Structure 1
Amino acid sequence: MSITALPSSDTAVKPMSLWRSPLYIADLPGAAEQNEVLRDLIVSRTTTDPEASNFGVISATKANQDILAWSHPAIDWFKSQIMAAVSALTRAVLGDAASEVTQEVIAEAWTVVYAEGGSLRPHTHHDSAWSGVYYVESGDAGGTGDAGYLQLLDPRPAAIARDASEGTYRVEPTPGRMVAFPGWLPHSVQATLTGGGRRICIAWNVAYDKDWTGMR
């Protein structure tokens, strides 16, 4: 589906800089109520999705690639949160010039349901401008290390080789947390704990529609 990028009001959490790349992290207000609805929708539809797969993941199921087309207020809320993240990242890169952006964007999203011990291999979304993940349910990390954490990997080999970077920035999977970053940034998910329970998230991509020439 496609949605038009519009300037949004300032968010409570500003984009941060990571290796000179913008990073957006926001714990969304009102998310607890929305997550109850999203969890039930995702669980019920994942079990019947004929295109569900485990490509790129371990002990997890990727499904519901049509989630942004679902007709439900909770999905409308989620789409608005994607655009808030995209607008904030655009402002972080372009500054005041972000208000002049009129190009339409194309968004896609899918769900990932992790079982105990589930993880995601390092990868990029090279054909997307921005990528992100939203946590619906995080299971129980048990306060142990970085189990289940999102790992953002420094893309600069020289910096890592010269010990100028730790190489990894970790984000805790907290329900109601939206994380967004450039699509080319390598990332992975550390394995969850055995006995840590189920974890549910929604991953998404946004690309700019090069064929769209209309104006707002």
Structure 2
Amino acid sequence: MTTSKTHSTTFTAWPTGFYQADLTAMDGPGLGLESVQEMNSQLRTLILEAEAKQPEYRFGVIGAQKSSLDILRWEHPAVDWLRERILDAIRDLTLDSLSAKEDLAARVFEKSAIRAEGWAVVYHEGGSHRQHTHHDSVFSGTYYIETRGVGPDAGHLQLLDPRPAAVARHGSPGVYAVQPRPGLLVGFPSWLPHSVKATLHDGGTRICIAWNAAFDTSEALS
């Protein structure tokens, strides 16, 4: 009589990559506390000047105002600096998501045209953003410039587990919270639901730049 042995394995089927970089603590040109503080000061001035002149965009937000979607095309050294930092995030997220296919990851990033857009969001006292996802993009993220009004349980970016059954069955805490601080850059898949918890009512403004990125992979995949 022959007895067959059953083999079992445990694996993760749906991993979700997440990028987080504290630019104030990093070494290199344009990095470190003093460089980041200078860039943030310039970005803050640009954003608040634009807020006073542009039409109000309030889709999805409460007690906050969005800029137009062309901030990454503004001609200014601080915007050029931020564009490079976002490119670093896109590169790392691409390599992570295609880690099992390193050759493909290299071709996608090196030969594809990257389409990116960005917009500022100024949260006033008590401001928040409803749960949402981003369309027509692969990766999305946020760069934090000013984080007044953020506290231990206020003003956080909330990344939501997209598996409702896992949350309902207590197989997941449901929320991964990121406490913003100036100089922090985060990135994640655009399909991941997320929201912003209300800021403190007496805490001042919270200013960030949100971004989307997509690829034209026609040459990379040929």
TM-score tier after normalising by the smaller chain length: 0.7 to 0.9
**What is the one-letter code of the residue matched to 1:85?**
A
Are 1:58 and 2:67 counterparts? no
Q: Aligned-pair distance for 1:126?
A: 3.2
SS at match of 1:134: strand
Cα distance in 2, alignment partners of residues 158 and 44 from structure 1: 45
Tell me what 1:122 maps to: 131
C-alpha RMSD of the superposition: 1.8
Taking structure 1 as the reference length, the TM-score comes to: 0.85
* Rounded Cα–Cα distance in structure 2 between residues aligned with 1:167 and 1:85: 24
Alignment of 1:22-171 (within 5 A): 22-28=17-23, 29=31, 30-50=35-55, 52-95=56-99, 96-97=102-103, 98-101=105-108, 102-141=111-150, 143=151, 145-171=152-178
Shift of 1:104: 1.0
Task: Give the TM-score normalised by structure 2.
Answer: 0.83
1:189 matched to 2:196? The reply is: yes
Contact 1:103 1:208 in 2 (8 A): yes
Aligned mates of 1:137, 1:25 — CA distance in 2: 17
Q: Per the alignment, in what secondary structure is the counterpart of residue 47 of structure 1? A: helix
Task: Tell me the matched-pair count.
Answer: 194
Q: CA deviation at 1:66?
A: 1.6
Query: Residue by residue, what CA displacement relative to the aligned partner does 1:141-187 show, whole Å, maximum 9, x if unpaired?
Result: 3x4x3200000000011211221100000001111100100000000
- Structure showing the higher strand proportion among its residues: 1
For 1:56 and 1:20, the matched residues in 2 are separated by 27
**Residues 57 and 68, structure 2, Cα contact 8 Å, conserved in 1:** no
Conservation of the 8 A alpha-carbon contact between 2:125 and 2:149: no
- Equivalence for 1:174: 181
Q: 2:47 & 2:135 partners in 1: Cα distance?
A: 26
Whether the aligned pair in 2 keeps the contact of 1:38 and 1:136 (CA below 8 Å) is yes
The 8 Å contact of residues 46 and 64 in structure 1, kept in 2 or not, is answered as: no
Report the Cα distance in structure 1 between the residues aligned to 2:216 and 2:44, rounded to whole angstroms.
30
Q: Structure 1: where are the runs of 5+ without partners?
A: 1-16
Select the structure that is richer in helix.
Answer: 2
Measure the CA separation in 1 of the matches of 2:216 and 2:60. 26
Of the structure 1 ranges 92-101 and 79-88, higher mean CA displacement relative to structure 2 is found in: 92-101
Cα deviation for residue 214 of structure 1 reads: 7.9
**Contact 1:27-1:178 at 8 Å conserved across structures:** yes
Structure 1 Cα separation of the partners of residues 50 and 138 of structure 2: 28
